[in-house]
Amino acid sequence: MRFSTSNNSTYISQVEAAMSRAQLALNVDDLQESIAFYSRLFGTEPAKVKPGYANFAIAEPPLKLVLLENPGRGGTIDHLGVEVDSPEKVRSEIERLTDAGLFTDEEIGTTCCFAQQDKVWVTGPAGERWEVYTVLADSETFGGEDAPCCDAS
């Protein structure tokens, strides 16, 4: 995702905006209660529900809302992200973020959040974790054996 400045304002190109959406992964105490709340809030049902996990693919505003059941941590942000539409865009971001000195870790062909994904991680100045990722396919498992899910190194 590339940001451009023009006339002292920041914007995302219209083509990339249509292909990307922000992701917010929230820890929740009670998954079913949270699903009911966010279904009413955004007027849509979850795109995927698995044990301890749900996600919403919200059209307007373009948002991937991920709910992770973590009792005692409800209401906190687990991580943030940007979903892109191809592995090529993830590779492009790996190159760009490496050049910018922001690269933290990459996971290619990993299993996370019940999906096969390619992703790159960066860590913000206050420790906030961001991923740029693409979903390659659905998975029946939450995470892989090789690395914890949603855990940048």
One domain, residues 92 and 74: no
**Domain ends where: 62, 79, 96?**
79
- Host domain of residue 69: 20-79
* Contact yes or no for 144/99 (Cβ under 8 A): no
Q: How confident is the model at residue 146 (pLDDT cuts 50, 70, 90)?
A: low
Q: pLDDT tens digits for 70-95?
A: 999 999 999 999 999 999 999 999 99
What's residue 61's pLDDT? Answer: 85
Can you give the pLDDT at residue 127?
86
Q: Do 75 and 91 have their domain in common?
A: no
Same structural domain for residues 88 and 147?
A: yes
Peptide bond into 61 cis (omega under 30): yes
Asked whether residue 89 falls in the same domain as residue 152, the answer is yes
Residue 97 sits in a domain whose CATH number is: 3.10.180.10
Give, in degrees to the nearest 5, the angle at Cα 94 between 77 and 142.
45
Give the pairing of strands 21-28 and 63-69.
parallel
Q: Decide which of 59, 79, 99 is a domain's last residue.
A: 79
Instruction: State pTM to two decimals.
Output: 0.70
Last residue within a domain, chosen from 61, 79, 97: 79
The predicted pLDDT at position 5 comes to 36
Mean pLDDT for the chain overall:
83
* Domains identified in the chain, total number: 2
pLDDT band at 143 (very low <50, low <70, confident <90, very high): confident
